[in-house]
Structures are given as structure tokens and as C-alpha cells.
Amino acid sequence: MHEFGIATDIFSVVDQTARDNKAKKVLSVTVEVGQLAMINPEQLKFSFDVIADDGPYAGAELKVVTVPAVARCKCGFEGRLGDDDYVCPSCGGMYELLEGRGICVKNIEVELEDDE
């Protein structure tokens, strides 16, 4: 289950960002996951919950947003791909993948410490 390793990397980003901004509590984390990233969102959420179960991270919600796969082909096709489109849906040739394979932390919602 490589989702646990990815959840660990996400947590590292969240932890560093929370520390840098003196966050009292992490409320939610939004992650964009490409359609072709081969990630199970439920396993990713479960893994993140296991890792972030203590301190200011306890109860933080991991929100996973799927980014559609977008490709461009020499035949002129440019657009979204279906889950089973391993070749260009227009001509059957190889395409260039423009979007839909990455994983990116897009937003971290935190509660900041009170400035006194």
C-alpha cells in the first residue's frame, strides 16, 4: 500500500507548514490527486488519519480532489482522457500527458495561536 508513504509525505508538508506558521490546530488539508496517479483516496485518507492522530493534527480532515487526465496528441486531439484511455481516443497513437498524474498539497486550513 504505497498510499501510506504518500500520506507520510503529505503529513511532513503539513507539519512543516504548521510549525512555520505557529498553528495551534490543523483543521483540514486539501490534496489534488491526478486521475492517473494510481492512488486510492480512501486508503490515503485512512493512512493520513493514522499518522495525524495526535496533537494539533488530531481530527484534521484530508480532502482529496481528483484532477482529470488531460492529453495532447499529434493528430490534434487535446482533452480529457477516460480511465481506460492508454492511447489517443481519436487516432490510437501515443499522446503527451498534460495533467492528471501528480499529487499536490493545495491548501492547509489551520487555527493560529493567539497573539498576546
Position 114 scores a pLDDT of: 73
89 in a domain, yes or no? no
21 in a domain, yes or no? yes
Residue 113 has pLDDT above 90, yes or no: no
Residue 14 has pLDDT above 60, yes or no: yes
Average pLDDT of span 26-50: 96
Residue 21, CA distances (Å) to 17, 58, 87, 95, 112 in order: 6, 18, 45, 42, 7
What is the C-alpha separation between 61 and 19, in angstroms, rounded?
18
Residue 115 has pLDDT above 70, yes or no: no
CA 115 to chain centre: 32
Are 69 and 100 in contact, with CB atoms under 8 Å apart?
Answer: yes
33 in a domain, yes or no? yes
Structural domain span for residue 7: 3-67+101-112
C-alpha cell at 80: 480529457
75 in a domain, yes or no? no
Average pLDDT of span 22-30: 96
> What is the strand order of the sheet 70-73 is part of?
78-80, 70-73, 95-99
Residue 21 has pLDDT above 80, yes or no: yes
| Per-residue pLDDT tens digits for 41-91 | 999 999 999 999 988 999 999 999 999 999 999 999 999 999 888 899 999
9 in a domain, yes or no? yes
DSSP secondary structure string, 17-37?
HHHHTTEEEEEEEEEEEETTS
93 in a domain, yes or no? no
CATH number at residue 14: 3.30.2320.50
Position 83 scores a pLDDT of: 84
60 in a domain, yes or no? yes
Q: Which of 46, 61, 53, 65 is nearest to 6 (CA)?
A: 46
At residue 52's C-alpha, the angle toward residues 113 and 43, to 5°, is 140
Global pTM reads 0.86
